[in-house]
Structures are given as C-alpha cells and as structure tokens.
Structure 1
C-alpha cells in the first residue's frame, strides 16, 4: 500500500526548486521523485524516473513525512570506532609534535612504522602503518618541509620582541618624527645565481622528476624591502653585499616612503648592517631584530615565493641574465600589492 505524502508545506514546484539548489545529487533525485508524485504521476513512474524501486520510494516518503527535507539526505554512517581513545590520541599528537629523542631512539624524525611501535608499547594497540597514517591525518598532521632554525635562536627573545615592538619603535623614533605618519618596513638580501634552487612540481606518484640545475658560481644580490601595509617595496640588484651596497639600498628605500611620512625599517644584525657602517636617510629609523631570528622577517617569505615561482629551475648564462631575472621577478610581485601584503603582513608588526 502506498504511503501518502503528509507534509504540505512545499508544493511540487517548490520541491523541484529545492532539488535545483541542493548540492547532494541523491537528495535532489528523491526530491524530484516526490514532486512527480504530487504532480499526479504513479509511484512506479516516479520511482523509475528517480532511479529507484517503489519500495525505496516508499521508505523515502516515510523519512520525508517524519523529518522534512533533511530526511532525504543520507545519514553519515558511524563506521568502526577508533581503537585509540581521545586521551591516547592527545598523547600521540604531543609525541609527534615533540619529535623523537635522538639519544634514546636514534631517529631524527618519526615515520609511520616508528609510531606504530610506539603505539604498541605505550597503549598496547597494534595498528598497521596505513592506520597510523590515517590517525595522524585525523589529528590534522601532514608531511611538511621543515624550516631551518639556528641552534642559537632564542624563541623567548623573539616572542618578547613581538610583544614590545610598538614600544620599541616609539622609543627609537627621533623627536621630529613622533608626529609624522609612520610606516613599518622590513629589509633583507638574497643571493641569486647560477647554482640555483630547486622547487616542488606536480609529477606522477612514485616518480622522481628531474630538473636542470647549473653548477657554476656567478651570483648577484637582490636587496629587497617591503612595506606590508601599503603593499609597496624597494629593491636593488647589486654585484656585492657590503655596507656600501646597503647604503645604496637605504637611499632607495628612503625615496619609496610616502611624502611627509617616516619609516621604521626592521633589519637583521648582519655585519654590513652595523650602525657604525651604514647611514640611513633622515626619514628612516632602524629597528634591529633579535639575533638568529629570520622567522621574524617577512622578506624571507618573499624570497621563498620568488624562488619557488620565478627563480628556481633556471639556467643563467651571464651575470646580466641573473640581474634581468631578479628584476623581472621582483617587479612581477610588486605589481600585485594584495599578494605582497598577504605574504608579508604580520599582526604584531604595528606601531600601536
């Protein structure tokens, strides 16, 4: 016996409209079947048009009567319960984040097979490597390339620098700049040359893609500075990196600052950045980063972006070719201020 469609809040036309809006193909088919029934089609015809049999259509009518539109979507199956408790997963996540103790394990990184053994010893649960990988993905872990960290880096000093940055800038500004509009700039240098860099590319799983890489030693130095808030930058490509070159770059930065504004320029403690060796223009005040803290300089991310998208996997025959490539790469990024800002903006790098 056919089950009547008891709900009357939606007409056949409104059910069809709901089917058009639905992103769930299965739900859309069921909505169309119900619409056909309301329009007078037989249950057999409606079921056939929606790719189901009469009994299945009858079941969906029951669900619609009880739950409305939501009842026409497939319920997510609970699946097999996890063999690790939430507490065990939390402990596993902490273990992965800390990494292995080389002195104890003899390993410098965790592999799934290593964690498989740790899980067996710690929790008495025997998982396959694939199951371990699945658990790691559930815990929001994935395989990433690590960033280098200097052994003398002081993370506490870096956090303190970020917290006191506005006060540090205010204290460093000369009296004549206190009432001027203030811009925050960051500066760094990158060596670009024939012995270039490689980058990631799309390739077939299991393959080992090859790319050309030069072995010669001609270099140029790209001096770059950015103002994230304005989405602008200033750069020079020079044959050497020294105090004289840095002074030329400081002059270029000074010309790029907005009229009547003053800039706090954040730089690292490289030897050619010594206060006794460089002469910033009158509209620039230098702010020095803590030692061994490239993580705090967003220009490092600019170099990473340019190498990955413009400067890697290339062969440069001459020094002039290197200079041209650097100029083209820098100008292409500066031509997209929104992208430059997204790469370099930091919440802590404000004057207030």
Structure 2
C-alpha cells in the first residue's frame, strides 16, 4: 500500500488557501486549493477528494504539484502559443488581398474565383510567401484581422464614390440650401424616404439549418405586388408609411401628406430621397413643412431606408406565399406597423453620423 500523501508546503494555512480559492478566476485551480485546505484541516483523503470532484489519486497528484510549485502548480500548464507563421508585413499584404478581392481570370493567370475562399487564400499564401497553412489557420488569420463573412450590398456600376463623399461632407450646407425662407430659424428634422416593391414572388432570407445542407423554402411564381412607401426620422425614432398599388406621383403626394402629419409641430422637415421620376415634376404637391433634398444618382447606400427594407424582409416579408393582392397589402401593413412601433430599432437602423445637422 502506498504511503498517504503529505502536504509538506506550509507557507499558507487552510484558511489562506480558502481565501486564495475565493479570489481565483480559475475554477479548477480553486477546487484543488479547497481540496488541499481540507487535507490540512485533517479531513480524510477520500472525503476531501470527493468533496472537490476528484478521486484520491488525482488529489495525490495535485498535492505533489502543490508541494513542488506552490499555488502556481495547481493551474493547468498550457503550452505557449505557436508563433504566427506570417510576419506583420506579410499579414498586411494578406489583408490587402482580402480588401481587393480575387482576380476571376482562370488560374494561373488569376485566382479563378469571384469571391475568396479560405483554400484560395491559402494557395496564394503558399505561392507568395512559400508558407503552407491549413484552411483553419487562414480562417484564424481572417478573424485576427477583423474579417467576417457578411452579405454584400448591390452597387450600381455608375456609382460615383467621390460624389457620395461630397454629399456627406456637404450635407449641412445642402440642407441649408434646401430650406425656404419661411423655414429658416425653425427646428429641423431629417427624414429619409424610399419605396419597396413586395410581391408574390417574394424574397428568401437566411435561416438556421444543419451545416452541409441546402434548406428549401416556398417561393411563388405569380406576379402581383404592392409598394410600401416608407419614411423615417431617426432622431425622433418615428416612421410614416403607406402601402400603395402603384409607385407614381399621386401615391407620392399621399405619402408626403402622411409624412407632413408626422412632423413635430413647429418643426420643418428635410426629406432626403432619390431621384425617381415620381419624386419630382409638376404634379408633385410638397407640404409647407417639408423640403426635398435629392441624393446623388445611383446612391442607394446613402439612404438608410434601404436597410429598413432589408430588416422588414428578413423578419416578416420573406419566405412567404401571398394568395392575392389583399394578402400582400395585409402583410406589408403588418410588417410596417410592427416596425413603426419600435423607436429604438428605427434609430438604430436609420441613424447616420453624417446626417446630423442639429447641435
């Protein structure tokens, strides 16, 4: 029979070991401290081990570690982290590849893909730096650089980034220029407006499913639809919407009247919108408490209502089959009304720092 293990290290009493266990953020090490404290208090080894969730042999091993190393010996020894195989300069170059995207030309002229996969990045790392890394390692590099797999937004080929930046930087001046003389000096509200078509063909969205599967969802093939005219004021967290059968000037006039009723009394609203044909022209009737400010051409990314449509579709309007036009209208009204009752969500989705004009 082996001799009973003895705690030979005596710089800490049982009470001090208990206090150290209470301060420790390592739950496993804390249990080991409590077990040794029980031994120092004269509790038999079997009881001390079972009380702290271990067997007698495990307790014996931890007592030996404690005798040799003190409290430090009660924590699991972890090997040092493996050094990253790419230098900081190589990681910076790797990040530039991710930002620039792949060359879709066939290998070996290009990368042969339209979006990066980890295996493609791993191949380029091997070709450029002579370092072979596993796909999981490539994923860790991407995570370390702050990259995640995200859904892309559409961009019109005629988009002018310089015009968009100029619009954002000059937004306060553009708002001031849009105001009529009667509105100068009044409190201002910034509103954003847009339309979305919702129809029987519907849209699909992401759902939870088992890895490796291709989940299926219903999608209609008929062609009835309605239009949601939506506007939001992120500073106040309010929204004004209508569901209309057509996107035309009469529908826009009705929506402008709806927005005018939602503007705070004594306040003037600047309504930011795109250059659709029904947003201007001789038949448009703009209420006295609203001024229009048109976005640069092909710039939907500057209109936060585009993100509102994404939110509505992802939560209430996707993966649905609508029997007829009335069903579409009911679904659109329900989705918009649910959205409009959440001021915090409106502010979160639609707020833009560049669109602040009030101090």
Instruction: Decide which of 25, 28, 35 is 2:30's aligned counterpart.
Output: 28
1:53 counterpart SS class: helix
Render the CA deviation track for 1:31-72: whole Å, top value 9, x for unaligned. 43354356554677545543232341343476665x7xxx86
Show the counterpart of 2:353.
Answer: 347
Show the counterpart of 1:269.
Answer: 275
Show the counterpart of 1:241.
Answer: 247
Structure 2 counterparts to residues 158-237 of structure 1, below 5 A: 158-237=164-243
Tell me: CA distance 1:286–1:252, structure 2 relative to 1, closer, same or farther (3 Å). same
Render the CA deviation track for 1:89-146: whole Å, top value 9, x for unaligned. 1111111111023355143222223222211221011223343333323333232221
Taking the aligned partners of 2:275 and 2:13, their CA distance within structure 1 comes to 74
Shift of 1:8: 7.0
Taking the aligned partners of 1:61 and 1:180, their CA distance within structure 2 comes to 78
Render the CA deviation track for 1:137-161: whole Å, top value 9, x for unaligned. 3333232221111111111221221
> 2:144 aligned with 1:135, yes or no?
no
Mind listing any 5+ residue stretches in structure 1 that lack a counterpart?
none
Contact 1:44 1:54 in 2 (8 A): no
Contact 1:187 1:224 in 2 (8 A): yes
Tell me: CA distance 1:63–1:163, structure 2 relative to 1, closer, same or farther (3 Å). farther
Tell me: CA distance 1:350–1:4, structure 2 relative to 1, closer, same or farther (3 Å). same
> 2:314 aligned with 1:312, yes or no?
no
Alignment TM-score, normalising by the size of structure 2: 0.87
Render the CA deviation track for 1:300-319: whole Å, top value 9, x for unaligned. 11100100110001111111
Number of residue pairs matched?
A: 345
Tell me: CA distance 1:238–1:84, structure 2 relative to 1, closer, same or farther (3 Å). same
Shift of 1:241: 0.3
Show the counterpart of 2:3.
Answer: none
Taking the aligned partners of 2:139 and 2:250, their CA distance within structure 1 comes to 53
Pairwise CA RMSD: 2.5
Taking the aligned partners of 1:10 and 1:165, their CA distance within structure 2 comes to 67
Shift of 1:74: 4.3
Contact 1:18 1:31 in 2 (8 A): no
Render the CA deviation track for 1:167-211: whole Å, top value 9, x for unaligned. 221232222222222111100000001010001111111111111
2:291 counterpart SS class: strand
Taking the aligned partners of 1:157 and 1:96, their CA distance within structure 2 comes to 26
Taking the aligned partners of 1:288 and 1:302, their CA distance within structure 2 comes to 19
Contact 1:183 1:264 in 2 (8 A): yes
Instruction: Decide which of 322, 333, 338 is 2:339's aligned counterpart.
Output: 333
Greater mean deviation of Cα atoms: 117-126 or 252-261: 117-126
Taking the aligned partners of 1:281 and 1:9, their CA distance within structure 2 comes to 80
Tell me: CA distance 1:177–1:305, structure 2 relative to 1, closer, same or farther (3 Å). same
Mind listing any 5+ residue stretches in structure 2 that lack a counterpart?
1-5
Greater mean deviation of Cα atoms: 137-146 or 115-124: 137-146
Taking the aligned partners of 1:296 and 1:61, their CA distance within structure 2 comes to 66
Taking the aligned partners of 2:338 and 2:67, their CA distance within structure 1 comes to 59
1:348 counterpart SS class: helix
Contact 2:29 2:75 in 1 (8 A): yes
Tell me: CA distance 1:13–1:169, structure 2 relative to 1, closer, same or farther (3 Å). same
Alignment TM-score, normalising by the size of structure 1: 0.89
Show the counterpart of 1:92.
Answer: 94
1:183 counterpart SS class: strand
Tell me: CA distance 1:292–1:55, structure 2 relative to 1, closer, same or farther (3 Å). same
Instruction: Decide which of 282, 286, 289 is 1:283's aligned counterpart.
Output: 289
1:102 counterpart SS class: coil
Contact 1:15 1:32 in 2 (8 A): no
Show the counterpart of 2:298.
Answer: 292
Show the counterpart of 1:2.
Answer: 7
